[in-house]
Structure 1
């Protein structure tokens, strides 16, 4: 695999770097390698943690052939075909996320629309238009960083972060959009809120969405939000 580097991340982990930019092509290479490693499932592999432009590879040192994890990983990278490096991702999971926009559900929607020179309805429509890619999970358990935001909707973070952002808040931070899985501090612009629980440790798969999945936002009203189990 071209243009990569491997560096130590700890006694039991390595970091594969693909670059230092946030873009879909680089992120696809991250997920292509993760998919390659999962499919081949070497005995030493313990876990994979995708990020925007890097992949954390956690290993069991006692099961690495020859005891050199870096060399073993390098061999697996070298064994990837060109097709595996840039695959047409096969039927990734698509999640339709219902969102109630504006008002008490999205406290920054009106100000964001004014700043962007858009009507609120147009901002909502443009935010719902893309099918987003889950680039990575981070910040908090289950928080999806989504690629695919219309560049015209990019907004700077708040100068002073809120002490508490409601769980389920859908927000824009810079050129990214994401969903706060639980109540927490945060400085992204709040557009709306979903009644879905993004993270639940009691579920077999605690995180509702996974890296590499797709997400589409669907606008709903307050009545539908309540009917789906949301608490205003």
Structure 2
């Protein structure tokens, strides 16, 4: 007998706590990319991660996603070891990874379909998210009929439609032009205000890290820095010294 799950669209969930405890990260058989790493991401926090190429940013995300086990130490969610991918943790890539044969609506519904949410509930959730990412008129289109920014909006909606407690984002806006990127950053801030999800956001863009993050992890320097709030694009005077410190770590 099959079971179904109903996910109310408007219910806010508490973000997950993600942590690494004396963790060595990398691939088996080669030296670790990151070693002796201790990190705690608090529930509902946006932690942005910056560092030079090859320092382990993507490796960190894949470990927290459950795709890459630590070589030593431990990765945990809410104090429990992360041993495999889970529905509570969504991963968002720079390239949208949408299924080209599924419509925009069907792509957004995918995580709910996997969890056997009833069709009527999936449709309602997809319609809600299409409205939130301002793509209500594109539900029946295929990914190749959308712009890059629109595809990233669909990917963001798909990631959040299943109401994950943590969202792991690997340079999701890196391929977008400056204007579209700015709009996606604002959209992400607005959406996360309502979801309560914990976010780990990898970026090469220092200004993006400062705008989005509650804290910034400098992987190469082994530091985590607080970001002044409230979040504002014109807060240059409050972040000048912090920006210089971040740039010096790259």
TM range (shorter): under 0.3
Q: Which has the larger share of helix?
A: 2
Q: Which has the higher contact order (CA 8 A, sep 6+)?
A: 2
- Structure with higher strand content: 1
Question: TM-score by structure 2 length?
Answer: 0.23
Structure number, greater radius of gyration: 1
| TM-score w.r.t. length of structure 1 | 0.24
